[in-house]
Structure 1
Amino acid sequence: MTRSGAQRLLALVLALGLVSVAPTVVANLVTGRSATPPAWAAAVCTAYLAVFVVLLVQAVRRGACGPAAWALVVVGDVALATYPVVSPHVDDDVPWVLALSAITVGAGAVAAPSLGGALGLTAVHLLLRQLLQLSGVWSVRADIAVVETVGQLVIAVAASVAVQAVQESARSVEQARDAAARAAAAAAAARAEEVENSRWDGIVHDDVLASLSTAAHARDAADRGRARAAAERALASVDGGLAGARDTGPVGAAETVSRLRSAVLALHPGAVLSAPDAPAGQLAPEAVDALVAATAEAVRNAVRHGSRAGRVPDVRVRVRADARRGRFGVEVRDDGAGFDARRATPRLGLAVSVRRRADVVGGRALVRSAPGVGTVVLLGVPLLGTSAEGAG
């Protein structure tokens, strides 16, 4: 329960308290058992009715009920203080204004911030009740007066304890919500930092180190041309990373397929990419960046390490978008040299650009390979609106 919910509950309780004593007041006024002037009775009832309406409004809007509670205390005490003035005759029955004492005392527990304050307001009300007896318009035996006084004090203590318990519970709930919001913000910041670190790791490995490796192994003019092109791509990637000009909103599955095709064909013009004609769903921008980079690295590894007898391996890339299961998958398959996945230490490209990039965006990566049969890299990231569990 939040603080607004607690205020709403207290407003409803006070409103119901007024409703509970209404039959007694109305019966006294209608049957003529009360000798009070009609104008005074109408003024008191109108005041209570106005406070009742305010309480209902606060309950609906979940506003603070403190002012309305104070209004109940003031109206109850003023009615009790002025009753001997407007009704000078001795009342053989209990004056109807005394039926409102429980409401006045309970409202004091809501209005006062502490048990001491609630008891102080109750003491003022009890003093007014004593003055009512001293005025001679109402008399009661001493033992009954003591019992009623103790009853009013019990009501004050119980109401104050209950009100403070409700308010403390509301404060605890709000503190827990604030702590949860701070924890969620911290987790989001940590995840964003991890995604950014992974992105830069990929840029350094995929572009910078790859261009340096190409330059170091250049043997002729064609190799030097490829090295120059790789260096230009590396500089463009670094510039783009520093500029931070990336998508901030969801990316459609069709756009993701287009980016995958461009990245794959730039590394292996002979690669074959198959994808649905109109894939459904949307992906987070960081998931698209990670998926494109991981796919590109899988193709780059196939070209760089999978050649056999000087022949660049064939590469087939298959894209799958499963909106029902909430995942977007890519399969990169080559017929290159392969390696023993059980014995070989994972290459840096597979560890950094493939597995880690998939992990940090809530996806998964699986590498299968064997000597002489090629390599298969399976990538999966979640579509927006789904959990990462379906991204395998």
Structure 2
Amino acid sequence: MPALVAAPAYAQSVLPQQQQAPHVILSVSAKGLYDTNIARASDAAIAQRGLEKSDFKMTPLVSADIYKPFGTSYVSLVGSAGYDFHARNTILNRERIDLTGGLGSQVGPCGANVTGGYARRQSDLADLNVLTVGTALTTKNTESIFHVEGLVACGAPVGFKPFGTIAYSNARNSSDRRKGSDANSVTYGGGILYTQPSIGEIRLFGAQRDINFPNRDGVNYFGAPKLRARFGGVRFERNIGARLSGHAQVAYTDVERRGTPATKSFNGVTWELGLNLRASERLSIDATASRNVDPSLGFNVDYIVQEEYELRAAYVLNRLMTLTLTGTHMARDFNYSSTATSIPINNDKTDSIVGALHIEPIGRFSLILDGGYTRRNANVNFYDYNSFRTSVTIATQF
């Protein structure tokens, strides 16, 4: 689901999309994955869900990357559509769709664009709490998210550039037991960007997001019926030579539960840091860290305070093969108005490491071999799990 306090994404998109070379790239892929814990849960939780612990999943996928300019305007489409087939847990078989389209234009000193997207998939079982009733019905849950955003920015390439944006999104669950987390949201705000080649980019921004949970009536579905989030901050980006680039962002965030009664829920600092280092012609390293506030389609929470740290290294073995290694640590605190219908999880920590070998091209095909390990520790052992997985992906473009 889109972030409740989406300062990072909001700040990164303050400029209309830059012109690209026209292209139409279509690809077809198939991924086979074996996971020792496809349910991402403890043995007790797996038994309550009625699932098999290990499984093999096959995902055929069609992908597109299309960009077509028309003078100072453009249209674009990026995304994929496919289906997940499970060998043992067929209840999890589901379509997998993720599409984003856009159009924009430059008129004099001003640029504007509109982007919209739709995503639909089986909910990640690690992000679904176990309900005290109707567990089998809530394991099978398709989440659908629609969003549309508009942006206008005016000004010269160097100097000051004010901007404004507005966005709408809705998120839905297919399971009746999960509909208390269905949400609609409207975000609006703006700011000013200062660009100077010798300094970099400095962005000041502020916005408000209003979230409505339409099904939370206090009888069938519990939780705050509305949330209001306000945030404002600054972001700095700079390329430091040809090998090093980075960004830093700090925002003050205020979240308020609205309804009866209205209560302050969260106020504090959210942040994001990023660094890219091209250590050599073969080795590149990316490091990111962030703290943000998110809602969730799965936990029947009002919001989640999340910190995430990631380190990724890519090494070019030769002209055909690249090896990547990614480590991630995530810590979350879950904030509820009510836990009456669920076995609650109040906080968790998840660590994962993934290695992958990318081989391309092999004629008209590319190949990805990867494997990884994930471990979660929660405040209740019921949600603890560990998982080993490996997969093979083959793809071709036309």
Q: TM-score interval w.r.t. the shorter chain?
A: under 0.3
Tell which has more relative contact order, 1 or 2 (C-alpha 8 A, sep 6+).
Answer: 2
Instruction: Provide TM-score, normalisation by structure 2.
Output: 0.21
Higher helix share: 1
Structure ID, larger Rg: 1
